[in-house]
Amino acid sequence: MITVLRLGHRPQRDKRITTHVCLTARALGADRVLLDREDARVESTVRDVTARFGGPFTIESGVAWRSILREHAGPSVHLTMYGEPLGEVVSDLRAEAGGSVPEDVLVVVGAEKVPGDVYELVTRNVGVGNQPHSEVAALGVFLYALLGVEVLEGGFEGGEVRVVPQPRGKRVVPVDEEGDA
């Protein structure tokens, strides 16, 4: 189970960025996303995508995030430009999991500022580079580095449609024709 925890979400200001965070989590192999602040609109958008393109993937907003962080049994990683190198942390996580992809990882993604105690509550603070960029890109690259290129090959079940890769143009087929990948 890979969980993404989004902190610092402000429903008015961050709707689009947080939606990008959620959809990136789903597309790059996470199983669920949790938002600190309640936001029915983002929940609805993410559930619509999952209904159309498949799951399993769940979203919950307005969670008790400090309890979740404190009680999480597996490794938790906070993505921050101040953290340790991505390559080192991914190697460590895999080594701790006996050489394979670790189970039950909690990935914490903040908005512009996160409460200072987050740095202490997590297992690792990870820099996807040590430059200011985007929590959306940081999440995508972290999951890709952790899970490998296979994570892009699908594995979704149910939903209504699948996209079939094409050199040019767009091809979308009903799930009945393509089968559950």
The closest of 123, 116, 119 to 97, measured between CA atoms, is 123
Residue number, 74 or 127, with CB nearest to a second copy: 127
Q: Which is nearer to a second copy, 11 or 154 (CB)?
A: 154
* Residue 47 in the binding site for a second copy (CB under 8 A): no
Tell me: does residue 165 bind a second copy (CB under 8 A): yes
* Alpha helical stretches, state H, 8-165: 11-27, 40-53, 65-71, 86-96, 118-121, 135-147
Residues 95-114 that bind a second copy (CB under 8 A): none
Give 55's DSSP letter: B
Instruction: Specify the residue for token string 């143009």.
Output: 169
Binding status of residue 177 toward a second copy by CB under 8 A = no
For a second copy, how many residues bind (rule: CB under 8 A)?
55
Binding of residue 166 to a second copy (CB under 8 A): yes
Residues 64-83 that bind a second copy (CB under 8 A): 81-83
Nearer to a second copy, 5 or 21 (CB): 21
Are 28 and 147 spatial neighbours (Cβ–Cβ below 8 Å)? Answer: yes
What's the CA gap between 176 and 155, in Å, rounded?
15
At 152, list the tokens. Answer: 């892009």
CB within 8 Å of 99: residues ≥ 6 apart: none
- Tokens (6 digits) for 89: 């942390």
Nearer to a second copy among residue 56 and residue 129 (C-beta): 129
User: Residues in the site for a second copy, rule: CB under 8 A?
Assistant: 16-17, 20-21, 23-24, 26-28, 49, 53, 81-87, 119-120, 124-125, 127-134, 136-141, 144-145, 149, 151-154, 156, 162-172
